[in-house]
Amino acid sequence: MDLQNPTTVFNFSIAILLISWLVWWIKQSNKKTLPLPPGPRGLPLIGNLPFIEPDLHRYFEKLAKIYGPIMKLKLGNKLCIVLNSPSVVKEVLKDKDIIFANHDKLAGAELITYGGSDIVWSPYGAEWRMLRKVSVHDFLNNTTLEAGRAFRRTEIRRMVNNIYVKVENPVNVGEQITQAIFNTMTSVLWGGTLQGKEDTSVASEFQQVLGEIVDLLGRPNISDLFPILAKFDLQGVERNMKRLMSWFDRIFDNLLDQRMKMDKEARETKGVTKDFLDILLQLKNGADPKMVLTMSHIKALLLDLAVGGTETTSTTSEWAMTELMTHPKIITEVQEELEAVVGKDNIVEEWHLPKLHYLEGVVKEILRLHPGLPLLIPHMPSQSCDVGGYHIPKGSRIFINVWAIHRDPSLWENPLEFKPERWFSPKNANLDLNGSDFRYFPFGSGRRICAGLSLAERMLTYVLATLLHSFDWRLPEGAKLDHEDKFGLVLKKANPLIVIPTPRLSKPELYNA
Protein backbone atom coordinates (compact mmCIF):
# COMPACT_ATOMS: atom_id res chain seq x y z
CA MET A 1 0.00 0.00 0.00
CA ASP A 2 1.36 3.37 -1.00
CA LEU A 3 0.89 5.45 2.15
CA GLN A 4 2.47 8.42 0.40
CA ASN A 5 -0.48 8.62 -1.95
CA PRO A 6 -3.22 10.92 -0.47
CA THR A 7 -5.98 9.04 -2.30
CA THR A 8 -4.83 5.72 -0.83
CA VAL A 9 -4.69 7.18 2.69
CA PHE A 10 -8.18 8.66 2.30
CA ASN A 11 -9.65 5.37 1.07
CA PHE A 12 -7.94 3.49 3.89
CA SER A 13 -9.36 5.89 6.52
CA ILE A 14 -12.87 5.51 5.10
CA ALA A 15 -12.52 1.72 5.22
CA ILE A 16 -11.43 1.84 8.88
CA LEU A 17 -14.39 4.08 9.79
CA LEU A 18 -16.83 1.79 7.98
CA ILE A 19 -15.44 -1.30 9.70
CA SER A 20 -15.60 0.44 13.12
CA TRP A 21 -19.19 1.54 12.51
CA LEU A 22 -20.11 -2.02 11.42
CA VAL A 23 -18.57 -3.53 14.57
CA TRP A 24 -20.45 -0.99 16.75
CA TRP A 25 -23.73 -1.68 14.90
CA ILE A 26 -23.34 -5.45 15.35
CA LYS A 27 -22.66 -5.00 19.07
CA GLN A 28 -25.67 -2.73 19.49
CA SER A 29 -27.86 -5.18 17.57
CA ASN A 30 -26.76 -8.04 19.80
CA LYS A 31 -27.12 -6.00 22.97
CA LYS A 32 -30.25 -6.94 24.87
CA THR A 33 -32.37 -3.96 25.86
CA LEU A 34 -34.35 -4.51 29.03
CA PRO A 35 -38.11 -4.07 28.70
CA LEU A 36 -40.13 -1.29 30.26
CA PRO A 37 -41.85 -2.20 33.54
CA PRO A 38 -45.25 -3.92 33.28
CA GLY A 39 -48.43 -1.95 33.61
CA PRO A 40 -52.05 -1.62 32.52
CA ARG A 41 -52.74 -1.12 28.84
CA GLY A 42 -53.82 2.33 27.80
CA LEU A 43 -55.43 4.03 24.82
CA PRO A 44 -53.63 5.74 21.94
CA LEU A 45 -52.50 9.31 22.69
CA ILE A 46 -54.14 9.57 26.13
CA GLY A 47 -52.72 6.36 27.64
CA ASN A 48 -54.18 5.41 31.02
CA LEU A 49 -55.72 8.81 31.78
CA PRO A 50 -59.37 7.71 31.46
CA PHE A 51 -58.83 4.90 33.97
CA ILE A 52 -56.95 6.55 36.83
CA GLU A 53 -58.78 7.05 40.12
CA PRO A 54 -58.75 10.29 42.16
CA ASP A 55 -56.88 8.80 45.14
CA LEU A 56 -53.64 8.07 43.32
CA HIS A 57 -51.88 6.60 46.38
CA ARG A 58 -54.60 3.94 46.74
CA TYR A 59 -54.91 3.42 42.99
CA PHE A 60 -51.17 2.78 42.68
CA GLU A 61 -51.30 0.42 45.67
CA LYS A 62 -54.10 -1.56 43.99
CA LEU A 63 -52.20 -1.80 40.69
CA ALA A 64 -49.03 -2.93 42.50
CA LYS A 65 -50.86 -6.07 43.61
CA ILE A 66 -51.32 -6.90 39.93
CA TYR A 67 -48.13 -5.64 38.28
CA GLY A 68 -45.57 -5.85 41.07
CA PRO A 69 -43.15 -3.52 42.86
CA ILE A 70 -42.32 -1.42 39.78
CA MET A 71 -44.83 -0.58 37.07
CA LYS A 72 -45.55 1.95 34.35
CA LEU A 73 -48.50 4.05 33.28
CA LYS A 74 -48.81 6.39 30.34
CA LEU A 75 -50.54 9.59 31.38
CA GLY A 76 -50.93 11.53 28.16
CA ASN A 77 -47.46 11.96 26.68
CA LYS A 78 -45.81 11.35 30.04
CA LEU A 79 -44.37 7.96 30.95
CA CYS A 80 -44.84 7.46 34.69
CA ILE A 81 -43.00 4.84 36.72
CA VAL A 82 -44.42 3.88 40.12
CA LEU A 83 -42.21 2.33 42.81
CA ASN A 84 -43.92 0.27 45.51
CA SER A 85 -41.18 -1.63 47.37
CA PRO A 86 -38.07 -0.83 49.44
CA SER A 87 -35.72 -2.68 47.07
CA VAL A 88 -36.53 -0.62 43.98
CA VAL A 89 -36.73 2.61 46.01
CA LYS A 90 -33.22 1.88 47.29
CA GLU A 91 -31.97 1.62 43.71
CA VAL A 92 -33.44 5.02 42.88
CA LEU A 93 -32.77 7.02 46.06
CA LYS A 94 -29.45 5.46 47.04
CA ASP A 95 -27.68 3.33 44.42
CA LYS A 96 -28.53 5.68 41.51
CA ASP A 97 -29.25 8.78 43.55
CA ILE A 98 -27.34 11.16 41.26
CA ILE A 99 -29.27 10.01 38.17
CA PHE A 100 -32.59 10.55 39.98
CA ALA A 101 -31.55 13.71 41.84
CA ASN A 102 -33.89 15.96 39.83
CA HIS A 103 -37.53 16.53 40.62
CA ASP A 104 -39.91 16.43 37.66
CA LYS A 105 -40.77 20.10 37.46
CA LEU A 106 -44.46 20.93 37.10
CA ALA A 107 -45.69 23.88 35.04
CA GLY A 108 -47.32 25.43 38.10
CA ALA A 109 -44.21 24.95 40.23
CA GLU A 110 -42.10 26.73 37.60
CA LEU A 111 -44.28 29.82 37.99
CA ILE A 112 -44.61 29.91 41.77
CA THR A 113 -40.86 29.42 42.42
CA TYR A 114 -39.49 32.24 40.26
CA GLY A 115 -38.49 29.87 37.48
CA GLY A 116 -37.36 27.07 39.80
CA SER A 117 -35.04 29.25 41.91
CA ASP A 118 -35.85 27.29 45.06
CA ILE A 119 -34.54 24.20 46.81
CA VAL A 120 -37.43 21.91 45.83
CA TRP A 121 -37.63 22.37 42.05
CA SER A 122 -34.16 23.61 41.16
CA PRO A 123 -32.30 20.99 39.04
CA TYR A 124 -29.45 19.14 40.70
CA GLY A 125 -26.20 21.02 40.23
CA ALA A 126 -24.13 23.89 41.61
CA GLU A 127 -27.12 26.23 42.10
CA TRP A 128 -29.11 23.58 43.95
CA ARG A 129 -26.13 22.71 46.17
CA MET A 130 -25.79 26.39 47.08
CA LEU A 131 -29.49 26.66 47.97
CA ARG A 132 -29.34 23.42 49.98
CA LYS A 133 -26.34 24.71 51.92
CA VAL A 134 -28.06 28.01 52.64
CA SER A 135 -31.21 26.27 53.90
CA VAL A 136 -29.69 23.40 55.89
CA HIS A 137 -26.26 24.56 57.02
CA ASP A 138 -26.87 28.28 57.40
CA PHE A 139 -30.46 28.19 58.71
CA LEU A 140 -31.76 24.78 59.75
CA ASN A 141 -28.71 23.87 61.80
CA ASN A 142 -28.67 23.05 65.53
CA THR A 143 -27.52 26.54 66.51
CA THR A 144 -30.30 28.39 64.72
CA LEU A 145 -32.90 25.81 65.75
CA GLU A 146 -31.96 26.38 69.37
CA ALA A 147 -32.03 30.14 68.84
CA GLY A 148 -35.60 29.81 67.54
CA ARG A 149 -36.92 28.28 70.75
CA ALA A 150 -38.32 31.60 71.94
CA PHE A 151 -40.36 32.03 68.74
CA ARG A 152 -41.80 28.54 69.00
CA ARG A 153 -42.58 28.89 72.69
CA THR A 154 -44.40 32.20 72.14
CA GLU A 155 -46.66 30.80 69.43
CA ILE A 156 -47.39 27.52 71.21
CA ARG A 157 -48.34 29.41 74.39
CA ARG A 158 -50.58 31.67 72.30
CA MET A 159 -52.27 28.58 70.83
CA VAL A 160 -52.87 27.18 74.32
CA ASN A 161 -54.42 30.46 75.43
CA ASN A 162 -56.65 30.64 72.35
CA ILE A 163 -57.94 27.13 73.07
CA TYR A 164 -58.34 27.85 76.80
CA VAL A 165 -60.82 30.67 76.18
CA LYS A 166 -62.92 28.15 74.21
CA VAL A 167 -62.91 25.32 76.79
CA GLU A 168 -66.02 23.16 76.87
CA ASN A 169 -66.87 24.41 73.38
CA PRO A 170 -66.17 22.76 70.00
CA VAL A 171 -62.77 23.72 68.57
CA ASN A 172 -61.38 23.15 65.08
CA VAL A 173 -58.08 21.83 66.34
CA GLY A 174 -56.51 21.78 62.88
CA GLU A 175 -57.08 25.52 62.50
CA GLN A 176 -55.48 26.20 65.88
CA ILE A 177 -52.44 24.08 65.03
CA THR A 178 -52.05 25.59 61.56
CA GLN A 179 -52.19 29.13 62.93
CA ALA A 180 -49.56 28.38 65.57
CA ILE A 181 -47.18 26.70 63.10
CA PHE A 182 -47.69 29.41 60.49
CA ASN A 183 -46.93 32.14 63.02
CA THR A 184 -43.85 30.23 64.16
CA MET A 185 -42.54 29.81 60.62
CA THR A 186 -43.07 33.44 59.64
CA SER A 187 -41.40 34.53 62.89
CA VAL A 188 -38.22 32.54 62.26
CA LEU A 189 -38.22 33.35 58.53
CA TRP A 190 -38.76 37.12 58.54
CA GLY A 191 -39.77 38.22 62.01
CA GLY A 192 -43.50 37.60 61.58
CA THR A 193 -44.37 41.08 60.36
CA LEU A 194 -45.88 41.93 56.98
CA GLN A 195 -46.15 45.39 55.45
CA GLY A 196 -44.26 46.87 58.36
CA LYS A 197 -46.64 45.82 61.11
CA GLU A 198 -48.46 42.83 62.56
CA ASP A 199 -51.31 42.80 60.07
CA THR A 200 -53.78 40.06 60.99
CA SER A 201 -55.76 40.29 57.74
CA VAL A 202 -52.63 40.03 55.57
CA ALA A 203 -51.31 37.12 57.65
CA SER A 204 -54.64 35.32 57.32
CA GLU A 205 -54.67 35.85 53.56
CA PHE A 206 -51.05 34.69 53.35
CA GLN A 207 -51.98 31.46 55.10
CA GLN A 208 -54.94 30.94 52.79
CA VAL A 209 -52.76 31.50 49.72
CA LEU A 210 -50.23 28.91 50.92
CA GLY A 211 -53.00 26.32 51.08
CA GLU A 212 -54.15 27.28 47.59
CA ILE A 213 -50.62 26.74 46.23
CA VAL A 214 -50.45 23.24 47.70
CA ASP A 215 -53.87 22.39 46.23
CA LEU A 216 -52.83 23.60 42.77
CA LEU A 217 -49.52 21.72 42.86
CA GLY A 218 -51.34 18.50 43.78
CA ARG A 219 -53.88 18.83 40.97
CA PRO A 220 -53.19 16.82 37.77
CA ASN A 221 -52.43 19.40 35.08
CA ILE A 222 -53.03 18.73 31.38
CA SER A 223 -50.15 21.10 30.59
CA ASP A 224 -47.74 18.67 32.28
CA LEU A 225 -49.18 15.60 30.54
CA PHE A 226 -49.52 17.17 27.06
CA PRO A 227 -46.81 19.85 26.75
CA ILE A 228 -48.12 20.77 23.29
CA LEU A 229 -51.28 22.07 25.02
CA ALA A 230 -49.42 24.01 27.73
CA LYS A 231 -49.86 27.38 25.98
CA PHE A 232 -53.65 27.00 26.26
CA ASP A 233 -53.60 26.42 30.08
CA LEU A 234 -56.88 24.53 29.77
CA GLN A 235 -57.40 24.11 33.54
CA GLY A 236 -56.23 27.58 34.49
CA VAL A 237 -53.49 26.26 36.80
CA GLU A 238 -50.82 28.56 35.39
CA ARG A 239 -53.22 31.50 35.37
CA ASN A 240 -54.00 30.98 39.05
CA MET A 241 -50.32 30.52 39.88
CA LYS A 242 -49.51 33.83 38.18
CA ARG A 243 -52.20 35.51 40.28
CA LEU A 244 -50.72 34.04 43.46
CA MET A 245 -47.22 34.93 42.31
CA SER A 246 -48.26 38.56 41.84
CA TRP A 247 -49.67 38.60 45.37
CA PHE A 248 -46.47 37.16 46.85
CA ASP A 249 -44.28 39.54 44.88
CA ARG A 250 -46.15 42.49 46.30
CA ILE A 251 -45.78 41.19 49.87
CA PHE A 252 -42.16 40.07 49.56
CA ASP A 253 -41.01 43.21 47.75
CA ASN A 254 -42.50 45.33 50.52
CA LEU A 255 -40.86 43.11 53.15
CA LEU A 256 -37.46 43.24 51.44
CA ASP A 257 -37.59 46.99 50.93
CA GLN A 258 -38.40 47.49 54.58
CA ARG A 259 -35.66 45.17 55.77
CA MET A 260 -32.97 46.63 53.53
CA LYS A 261 -33.75 50.10 54.84
CA MET A 262 -33.20 48.92 58.39
CA ASP A 263 -29.63 49.47 59.44
CA LYS A 264 -28.01 46.37 60.94
CA GLU A 265 -26.98 48.37 64.02
CA ALA A 266 -30.55 49.60 64.44
CA ARG A 267 -31.86 46.03 64.47
CA GLU A 268 -29.23 44.96 66.98
CA THR A 269 -29.93 48.03 69.16
CA LYS A 270 -33.60 47.10 69.27
CA GLY A 271 -32.63 43.58 70.29
CA VAL A 272 -34.18 41.97 67.21
CA THR A 273 -33.18 38.31 66.89
CA LYS A 274 -31.57 37.38 63.57
CA ASP A 275 -34.04 35.59 61.31
CA PHE A 276 -33.60 33.69 58.02
CA LEU A 277 -34.10 36.84 55.96
CA ASP A 278 -31.16 38.46 57.78
CA ILE A 279 -29.01 35.42 56.96
CA LEU A 280 -30.05 35.48 53.29
CA LEU A 281 -29.38 39.20 52.86
CA GLN A 282 -26.03 38.86 54.59
CA LEU A 283 -25.07 36.05 52.21
CA LYS A 284 -26.31 38.03 49.21
CA ASN A 285 -24.14 40.97 50.14
CA GLY A 286 -21.13 38.81 51.03
CA ALA A 287 -17.97 38.50 49.00
CA ASP A 288 -18.08 34.73 48.51
CA PRO A 289 -18.15 34.17 44.72
CA LYS A 290 -19.52 30.65 45.28
CA MET A 291 -22.60 32.04 47.07
CA VAL A 292 -24.28 34.25 44.46
CA LEU A 293 -27.81 34.73 45.79
CA THR A 294 -30.34 36.77 43.85
CA MET A 295 -33.55 38.34 45.10
CA SER A 296 -35.44 35.60 43.24
CA HIS A 297 -33.51 32.98 45.23
CA ILE A 298 -34.35 34.76 48.47
CA LYS A 299 -38.08 35.02 47.75
CA ALA A 300 -38.26 31.44 46.47
CA LEU A 301 -36.53 30.06 49.58
CA LEU A 302 -38.79 32.04 51.92
CA LEU A 303 -41.84 30.71 50.09
CA ASP A 304 -40.48 27.13 50.09
CA LEU A 305 -39.98 27.05 53.83
CA ALA A 306 -43.25 28.85 54.59
CA VAL A 307 -45.23 26.33 52.50
CA GLY A 308 -43.31 23.21 53.55
CA GLY A 309 -43.04 24.13 57.21
CA THR A 310 -46.70 25.02 57.61
CA GLU A 311 -48.71 22.65 55.40
CA THR A 312 -47.07 19.30 56.10
CA THR A 313 -46.52 19.76 59.84
CA SER A 314 -49.99 21.11 60.57
CA THR A 315 -51.63 18.38 58.47
CA THR A 316 -49.65 15.65 60.23
CA SER A 317 -50.51 17.15 63.63
CA GLU A 318 -54.24 17.03 62.82
CA TRP A 319 -53.90 13.38 61.73
CA ALA A 320 -52.10 12.69 65.01
CA MET A 321 -54.93 14.13 67.08
CA THR A 322 -57.42 12.12 65.01
CA GLU A 323 -55.57 8.84 65.63
CA LEU A 324 -55.16 9.63 69.32
CA MET A 325 -58.85 10.44 69.72
CA THR A 326 -59.55 7.02 68.17
CA HIS A 327 -57.29 5.36 70.77
CA PRO A 328 -58.00 6.86 74.23
CA LYS A 329 -55.72 4.33 75.93
CA ILE A 330 -52.79 5.73 74.00
CA ILE A 331 -53.73 9.25 75.08
CA THR A 332 -53.66 8.02 78.68
CA GLU A 333 -50.18 6.55 78.14
CA VAL A 334 -48.91 9.83 76.70
CA GLN A 335 -50.47 11.91 79.46
CA GLU A 336 -49.02 9.69 82.18
CA GLU A 337 -45.57 10.13 80.64
CA LEU A 338 -46.12 13.90 80.47
CA GLU A 339 -47.15 14.03 84.12
CA ALA A 340 -44.01 12.10 85.09
CA VAL A 341 -41.67 14.28 83.03
CA VAL A 342 -43.37 17.70 83.12
CA GLY A 343 -45.97 17.59 85.91
CA LYS A 344 -49.35 19.30 86.08
CA ASP A 345 -47.84 22.35 87.78
CA ASN A 346 -45.66 23.20 84.78
CA ILE A 347 -45.94 23.73 81.05
CA VAL A 348 -44.17 21.71 78.38
CA GLU A 349 -40.83 23.13 77.31
CA GLU A 350 -38.70 21.95 74.41
CA TRP A 351 -36.05 20.60 76.73
CA HIS A 352 -38.65 18.09 77.99
CA LEU A 353 -39.08 16.53 74.55
CA PRO A 354 -36.05 14.17 74.50
CA LYS A 355 -37.36 12.57 77.71
CA LEU A 356 -40.78 11.74 76.20
CA HIS A 357 -39.93 8.32 74.75
CA TYR A 358 -43.47 7.01 74.37
CA LEU A 359 -44.50 10.20 72.60
CA GLU A 360 -41.56 9.68 70.25
CA GLY A 361 -43.12 6.34 69.31
CA VAL A 362 -46.45 8.10 68.71
CA VAL A 363 -44.80 10.60 66.36
CA LYS A 364 -43.03 7.86 64.40
CA GLU A 365 -46.26 5.90 64.09
CA ILE A 366 -48.18 8.96 62.84
CA LEU A 367 -45.55 9.54 60.17
CA ARG A 368 -45.76 5.89 59.18
CA LEU A 369 -49.53 5.87 58.69
CA HIS A 370 -49.85 9.45 57.48
CA PRO A 371 -46.70 10.65 55.68
CA GLY A 372 -47.25 14.26 54.68
CA LEU A 373 -46.48 13.68 50.99
CA PRO A 374 -47.91 10.24 50.11
CA LEU A 375 -46.02 10.02 46.80
CA LEU A 376 -43.18 12.34 47.83
CA ILE A 377 -42.29 14.84 45.08
CA PRO A 378 -41.89 13.06 41.72
CA HIS A 379 -38.30 12.41 40.65
CA MET A 380 -36.97 12.38 37.09
CA PRO A 381 -33.92 10.51 35.73
CA SER A 382 -31.35 12.69 33.96
CA GLN A 383 -30.37 9.72 31.79
CA SER A 384 -31.84 6.37 30.86
CA CYS A 385 -30.95 3.56 33.23
CA ASP A 386 -32.11 0.20 34.58
CA VAL A 387 -34.03 -0.28 37.83
CA GLY A 388 -35.40 -3.54 39.19
CA GLY A 389 -34.54 -5.36 35.98
CA TYR A 390 -36.44 -2.88 33.78
CA HIS A 391 -35.49 -0.02 31.50
CA ILE A 392 -36.31 3.48 32.79
CA PRO A 393 -36.13 6.12 30.03
CA LYS A 394 -34.65 9.55 30.61
CA GLY A 395 -37.31 12.13 31.54
CA SER A 396 -39.80 9.65 33.05
CA ARG A 397 -41.84 10.81 36.04
CA ILE A 398 -41.00 8.65 39.06
CA PHE A 399 -43.69 8.27 41.71
CA ILE A 400 -42.54 6.72 45.02
CA ASN A 401 -45.56 5.41 46.93
CA VAL A 402 -44.23 5.85 50.45
CA TRP A 403 -47.82 5.70 51.75
CA ALA A 404 -48.25 2.13 50.43
CA ILE A 405 -44.79 0.98 51.54
CA HIS A 406 -45.53 2.16 55.09
CA ARG A 407 -48.70 0.03 55.05
CA ASP A 408 -47.29 -3.06 53.34
CA PRO A 409 -48.25 -6.22 55.35
CA SER A 410 -45.08 -7.95 54.14
CA LEU A 411 -43.04 -5.25 55.90
CA TRP A 412 -45.18 -4.37 58.92
CA GLU A 413 -47.13 -6.48 61.39
CA ASN A 414 -50.79 -5.39 61.44
CA PRO A 415 -49.85 -2.39 59.26
CA LEU A 416 -53.18 -0.56 59.50
CA GLU A 417 -53.18 -0.61 63.30
CA PHE A 418 -52.03 2.54 65.09
CA LYS A 419 -49.53 1.04 67.49
CA PRO A 420 -46.72 3.21 68.95
CA GLU A 421 -45.33 0.15 70.80
CA ARG A 422 -44.06 -1.28 67.50
CA TRP A 423 -41.21 1.23 67.64
CA PHE A 424 -39.78 -0.32 70.79
CA SER A 425 -39.34 -3.79 69.27
CA PRO A 426 -35.79 -4.82 68.25
CA LYS A 427 -36.93 -5.03 64.62
CA ASN A 428 -37.88 -1.35 64.43
CA ALA A 429 -35.96 0.28 67.28
CA ASN A 430 -33.19 1.55 64.99
CA LEU A 431 -35.49 3.00 62.34
CA ASP A 432 -35.32 6.80 62.22
CA LEU A 433 -36.56 9.65 60.04
CA ASN A 434 -33.34 10.01 58.05
CA GLY A 435 -34.38 7.69 55.23
CA SER A 436 -31.59 5.16 55.70
CA ASP A 437 -34.03 2.22 55.75
CA PHE A 438 -36.48 2.09 52.84
CA ARG A 439 -39.21 0.45 54.87
CA TYR A 440 -39.69 3.84 56.54
CA PHE A 441 -38.81 7.19 54.96
CA PRO A 442 -41.61 9.72 55.56
CA PHE A 443 -39.35 12.66 54.61
CA GLY A 444 -37.77 10.99 51.58
CA SER A 445 -34.12 9.98 51.33
CA GLY A 446 -30.88 10.76 49.54
CA ARG A 447 -29.89 14.14 48.18
CA ARG A 448 -33.46 15.36 47.99
CA ILE A 449 -34.50 14.41 51.52
CA CYS A 450 -36.67 17.11 53.12
CA ALA A 451 -34.47 20.01 54.21
CA GLY A 452 -36.76 20.87 57.14
CA LEU A 453 -36.86 17.38 58.67
CA SER A 454 -35.36 18.36 62.04
CA LEU A 455 -37.62 21.40 62.47
CA ALA A 456 -40.73 19.44 61.43
CA GLU A 457 -40.02 16.66 63.93
CA ARG A 458 -39.42 19.17 66.71
CA MET A 459 -42.58 21.16 65.98
CA LEU A 460 -44.78 18.08 65.64
CA THR A 461 -43.60 16.66 68.96
CA TYR A 462 -43.89 20.02 70.74
CA VAL A 463 -47.43 20.65 69.49
CA LEU A 464 -48.70 17.19 70.47
CA ALA A 465 -47.02 17.24 73.87
CA THR A 466 -48.55 20.63 74.64
CA LEU A 467 -52.08 19.80 73.46
CA LEU A 468 -52.21 16.52 75.39
CA HIS A 469 -50.57 17.94 78.52
CA SER A 470 -52.75 21.05 78.69
CA PHE A 471 -56.16 19.56 77.85
CA ASP A 472 -58.35 16.50 77.84
CA TRP A 473 -60.30 16.11 74.60
CA ARG A 474 -63.68 14.66 73.67
CA LEU A 475 -65.96 14.66 70.65
CA PRO A 476 -69.13 16.78 70.55
CA GLU A 477 -72.22 14.78 71.41
CA GLY A 478 -73.34 12.65 68.48
CA ALA A 479 -70.18 13.31 66.45
CA LYS A 480 -68.13 10.48 64.97
CA LEU A 481 -64.45 10.33 64.08
CA ASP A 482 -63.57 9.77 60.47
CA HIS A 483 -60.24 8.98 58.76
CA GLU A 484 -61.22 10.04 55.26
CA ASP A 485 -58.40 11.74 53.39
CA LYS A 486 -58.24 14.09 50.41
CA PHE A 487 -55.50 13.28 47.91
CA GLY A 488 -53.09 15.99 46.87
CA LEU A 489 -49.43 16.86 47.08
CA VAL A 490 -50.08 16.89 50.85
CA LEU A 491 -52.53 14.22 52.10
CA LYS A 492 -55.00 16.21 54.19
CA LYS A 493 -58.05 15.19 56.18
CA ALA A 494 -61.19 15.46 54.07
CA ASN A 495 -63.15 16.77 57.09
CA PRO A 496 -61.78 18.92 59.91
CA LEU A 497 -61.37 17.47 63.39
CA ILE A 498 -63.79 19.21 65.77
CA VAL A 499 -63.21 18.42 69.46
CA ILE A 500 -64.02 19.86 72.88
CA PRO A 501 -61.10 20.72 75.23
CA THR A 502 -61.19 20.50 79.02
CA PRO A 503 -58.35 22.04 81.10
CA ARG A 504 -56.17 19.58 83.00
CA LEU A 505 -53.37 21.75 84.45
CA SER A 506 -53.40 22.67 88.12
CA LYS A 507 -53.54 26.48 87.85
CA PRO A 508 -55.37 28.82 85.42
CA GLU A 509 -52.31 31.05 85.06
CA LEU A 510 -50.51 28.20 83.30
CA TYR A 511 -52.79 28.90 80.33
CA ASN A 512 -51.62 32.48 79.90
CA ALA A 513 -49.93 33.34 76.62
- What pLDDT, on a 0 to 100 scale, did the predictor assign at position 359? 98
**Does 303 have pLDDT greater than 80?**
yes
3 — pLDDT class (breaks 50, 70, 90)? very low
**pLDDT tens, position by position, 115-152:** 888 999 999 999 999 999 999 988 888 888 888 899 99
CA dihedral 478, 481, 487, 490 (to 10 degrees): 120
Q: What are phi and psi of 232, to 5 degrees?
A: -85, -20
The CATH number given to 32-511 is 1.10.630.10
- In the chain, domain spans: 32-511
How large a percentage of the chain has pLDDT more than 70? 89
- What pLDDT, on a 0 to 100 scale, did the predictor assign at position 2? 52
User: What span, in angstroms and rounded, lies between the C-alpha atoms of 262 and 269?
Assistant: 11
User: What span, in angstroms and rounded, lies between the C-alpha atoms of 368 and 386?
Assistant: 29
- What pLDDT, on a 0 to 100 scale, did the predictor assign at position 14? 64
**Does 26 have pLDDT greater than 80?**
no
**pLDDT tens, position by position, 392-421:** 999 999 999 999 999 999 999 999 999 999
Quick check: 326 and 457 in contact, CB under 8 A?
no
The one-letter code for the residue type at 82 is: V
| Residues in contact with 354: Cβ distance below 8 Å, sequence separation at least 6, in sequence order | none
* Residue 186 DSSP one-character state: H
Residue 171 backbone zone (phi > 0: left; psi -120 to 50: alpha; other: beta): beta
